[in-house]
């Protein structure tokens, strides 16, 4: 993309891309000391480190053991500045192969606040139901915004159905 901008040479475009890649890796490296995600604040921090530096939406699935130890994470989708698409089949494939005990899904809102959209809420409910079909539990859905992180678990939106006021 940078190569199409006037007055940006190929060398400068490569340099800027490398700087951004290094920034993303430095954020992710902060997770090296986070081994367990029992605590909501640790989950938020872990998701923040994975997603905050990116200028486009990403959806990641964090796989956890029985004692909530981080096994690995997987990038499920990359999107645009304010959207990212994925399908239940993407998650079903991961869950059927890896068979984690628990999962956390996280995504970012790179140009907005971390408030969940109606689509985020619907997606969370569908993923929670899908996970149970694989004997897996969705522990949390973290949204990383420009201002802070939002935890569905912290707000009580994971273990019970989400109720909306209809006027």
Predicted confidence (pLDDT) per residue in 48-65, tens digit: 999 988 888 899 999 999
* 113-142: burial string, b at 16+ Cβ within 10 Å, e else: ebebeeebeebbbebbebbeebebebbbbb
| CB 104 within 8 Å of CB 139 | yes
- At residue 87, the pLDDT reads 81
35-58: average pLDDT:
91
**pTM of the model as a whole:** 0.81
Predicted confidence (pLDDT) per residue in 19-31, tens digit: 666 666 676 777 8
The pLDDT > 70 percentage for the chain reads 78
- At residue 35, the pLDDT reads 94
DSSP string, the chain: -GGGSTT--HHHHHHHHHHHHHHHHHHHHGGGG--B--SHHHHHHHHHHHHTT-SS-EEEEEEE-TT-BEEEEEEEEE--SS-----HHHHHHHHHHH--SEEEEEEE-TTS--PPPHHHHHHHHHHHHHHHHTT-EEEEEEEE-SS-EEETTTTT-SSS-------
- At residue 2, the pLDDT reads 47
- At residue 163, the pLDDT reads 42
8-23: average pLDDT:
64
Sign for the CA dihedral angle at 118, 119, 120, 121 comes to: positive
Predicted confidence (pLDDT) per residue in 78-126, tens digit: 775 555 677 888 999 999 999 999 999 999 988 878 889 888 899 999 9
Both tokens assigned to 104: 């956390």
Both tokens assigned to 62: 């964090």
């Amino acid at each position: 993309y940078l190569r199409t901008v006037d007055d940006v040479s190929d060398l400068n475009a490569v340099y800027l891309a490398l700087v951004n890649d290094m920034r993303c890796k430095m954020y992710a490296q902060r997770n090296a000391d986070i081994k367990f995600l029992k605590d909501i604040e640790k989950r938020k921090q872990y998701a923040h480190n994975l997603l905050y530096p990116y200028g486009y939406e990403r959806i990641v699935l964090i796989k956890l053991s029985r004692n909530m130890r981080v096994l690995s994470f997987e990038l499920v989708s990359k999107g645009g500045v304010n959207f990212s698409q994925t399908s239940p089949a993407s998650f079903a494939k991961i869950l059927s192969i890896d068979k984690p005990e628990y999962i956390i899904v996280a995504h970012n809102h790179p140009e907005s606040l971390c408030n969940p959209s109606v689509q985020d809420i619907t997606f969370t409910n569908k993923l929670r139901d899908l996970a149970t079909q694989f004997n897996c539990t969705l522990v949390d859905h973290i949204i990383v915004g420009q201002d802070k992180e939002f935890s569905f678990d912290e707000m009580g939106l994971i273990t019970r159905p989400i109720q909306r006021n209809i006027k």
